[in-house]
Structure 1
């Protein structure tokens, strides 16, 4: 089936995005305050532009972008999207949304945002997506993601939909979408790293009181150079260090060679500072 696609912001140039690039960068690296704003804005936009005139009576299921153990940045945005949407649905006398997870087996460590469309599809094409088909029966599905650049993730989701034989009405919802295809897809990394130029730029977000872990920040920290990583650890709380290690294990990052030196040091750091490993 052909899904309905909605994006709050349409990116047609590389200067004005409809949102602040610094905010987007902070969002991608765990600033939950920005995730809250983005989620509420996306919900309000979709309600105004579509749901007010097209609200169906079926149960809605909201599904965040696929992940393994550590959620993506979209997961935090999804929470506030759901809160805002539920408030509106209750006012309309409708059922509040349900949620489901796409379980993802990831086969790569590369920085996806630097790649073109062909490279992205080649990379992500080896991943596998899984979902509870029976739970979704006869429900409307909202697949939520932060940005659509080449559509590779959307193609993978629709491949999963086909493989599972899902007959649901499907909506693909994005905070932003690149609509000018003369712009190289690496504009995604321009946005991702607009405010984060080194691991030390993360301190303001981590210590700002509105931080939540996601896949990107864990990978970024584990992949930085060893000297920077060592200094960075000294500046973090015990709780942060504890969470970083356990999340890394949960996503099997201990099996990825380029993370091994930093992860080994992290384990030793925990041991030497008498922090519990669990």
Structure 2
């Protein structure tokens, strides 16, 4: 069995998030590209909402996970720590443990731009699994995610968590946009509100508690040469190295949608390194 809670539900005729409130459009967009302050705010807000609605029992065993991923965490993973910390204050008698759901395979492109059919191909029914050494049987699992659009990812998560023996699954979202799922570009549009330019991305990288994630790595990989140069020249070398490593570890360097951009990014990074060394 499962249940669903969201901080903000997008109306069927809506195409933007509000400018203020619990989920401001700018904060949501910045969160998707690594703004850790926004992650903390959303993680805590989800814990407050869950505790108010569900009121878990003392002694209850609960695992907290994000959306499933391969090698590099998505933005949703940054919600887990602030959520768990807040819940431990709100419900000290509850046994809370972080959990990771592993995802097999690599998306052939940006999941946010895919329609329902493409998402089903990218996230198959058997694409997720829990480490069999972790005993989830009989426990409640809270799955944190940024947005629900078609529900494809939710079904895949339900499949693997039920197979692992979870007694109940709570899906907690920052935004539930399922009623507006007919617009393929909706999720991508929401993501890009405050992350449409290199300048926007540099502000996020320079923000307090910045947490790099898979979406940022993909974004930088798909930029043109000039924008990649501007980005790499402005960020700390550790951030540039993290992005290059993340793309390789996630297997994106072999995906047609990212391969050319990744090679261009490598060459740009090498050229900048040589310039710095001879300066």
State TM-score, norm by structure 1.
0.87
Say which is worse superposed, 205-214 or 11-20, in terms of deviation: 11-20
* Corresponding residue number in structure 2 for 1:171: 170
* Shift in alpha-carbon separation, 1:60–1:273, aligned structure 2, 3 A: farther
C-alpha deviation, 1:198, in angstroms: 2.2
C-alpha deviation, 1:114, in angstroms: 2.0
* Matched-pair contact (CA < 8 Å) for 1:8–1:45: yes
* Corresponding residue number in structure 2 for 1:21: 25
Say which is worse superposed, 201-210 or 117-126, in terms of deviation: 117-126
Q: 1:139 and 2:134 equivalent?
A: no
C-alpha deviation, 1:45, in angstroms: 1.1
Partner of residue 61 from structure 2, selected from 54, 59, 62: 59
Say which is worse superposed, 29-38 or 254-263, in terms of deviation: 254-263
Q: 1:157 and 2:161 equivalent?
A: no
- Distance in 2, matches of 1:3 and 1:127, equals 18
Aligned pairs for 1:238-257 within 5 A: 238-256=237-255, 257=259
* Shift in alpha-carbon separation, 1:250–1:16, aligned structure 2, 3 A: closer
- Distance in 2, matches of 1:230 and 1:128, equals 35
- Distance in 1, matches of 2:213 and 2:164, equals 31
* Matched-pair contact (CA < 8 Å) for 1:32–1:210: yes
* Matched-pair contact (CA < 8 Å) for 1:64–1:75: yes
Q: Secondary structure of 1:97's match?
A: strand
C-alpha deviation, 1:263, in angstroms: 3.7
Count of residue pairs brought into register by the alignment: 268
- Distance in 2, matches of 1:96 and 1:165, equals 18
- Distance in 1, matches of 2:107 and 2:251, equals 12
Q: Secondary structure of 2:179's match?
A: coil
* Shift in alpha-carbon separation, 1:182–1:129, aligned structure 2, 3 A: closer
* Corresponding residue number in structure 1 for 2:204: 205
* Matched-pair contact (CA < 8 Å) for 2:148–2:176: yes
C-alpha deviation, 1:250, in angstroms: 2.0
Tell me which stretches of 4 or more aligned residues in structure 1 moved more than 4 Å.
15-18
C-alpha deviation, 1:70, in angstroms: 1.4
* Corresponding residue number in structure 1 for 2:35: 31
C-alpha deviation, 1:273, in angstroms: 6.0
Question: Is there any run of 5+ residues in structure 2 with no aligned partner, and where?
Answer: none
Q: Secondary structure of 1:37's match?
A: helix
CA distances 1:233-254 after superposition (whole Å, capped 9, x unpaired) = 1112122222222222222233
* Matched-pair contact (CA < 8 Å) for 1:6–1:172: yes
